[in-house]
Amino acid sequence: MITKTDTDRPDEGALTQLLRDAGLRPTRQRIAIASLLLDGRHRHVSADGLAREIAATGQHMAGGTVYNTLNQFTEAGLLRRVTVRNEHTVFDTNTSHHHHFYDAARDQLVDIPADEVLLACLPDAPEGHDIQSVDILINIAPKTSS
């Protein structure tokens, strides 16, 4: 668990070590993003949303840097990528196995614990392949009055 300083931000030394342990060089930008995302809270963020959050802290970071860092964190196992529409990706700080509801009206993901989704039968993987994981995204919408 990452410890926090008096400002309720994760300790920079712990973040630096976490990045090194994940095989990433702890650059200023990576530490800034890690301090927002890797504090133990479970969050779902888009690259654009995180860029706005970073700007709100008074820091400047190019959108490409934010997106590339999110992808690097994902490849290192620090985040999990969830594709909710063909070109819309959200990054999940909860890397444990779980599923999601997606509310398109609010563009929001909601976690579903893995043990709350039961699959009775999976098809065999195509020849030469193994199933590595199953991720379920359940699309939801507000109820309409009848």
The pLDDT of residue 1 is 43
What three-state secondary structure class fits 132? coil
Domain residue limits at 125: 90-140
Residue 1 lies in a domain: no
Both 59 and 95 in one domain: the answer is no
Six token digits for residue 10:
């994760």
- Residues 68/47, Cβ–Cβ less than 8 Å: no
Residue 5 lies in a domain: no
The pLDDT of residue 8 is 58
Both 25 and 72 in one domain: the answer is yes
Split into its structural domains, the chain has a count of 2
Mean pLDDT for the stretch of residues 88-117: 93
Both 42 and 67 in one domain: the answer is yes
Both 75 and 102 in one domain: the answer is no
Residue 71 lies in a domain: yes
Residue 61 lies in a domain: yes
Contacts of 67 (CB under 8 A, 6+ apart): 47
Residue 3 binned pLDDT confidence (cut-offs 50, 70, 90): very low
Both 46 and 19 in one domain: the answer is yes
16-56 pLDDT, tens digit each = 999 999 999 999 999 999 999 998 899 999 999 999 999 99
96-106 pLDDT, tens digit each = 999 999 998 88
The pLDDT of residue 104 is 87
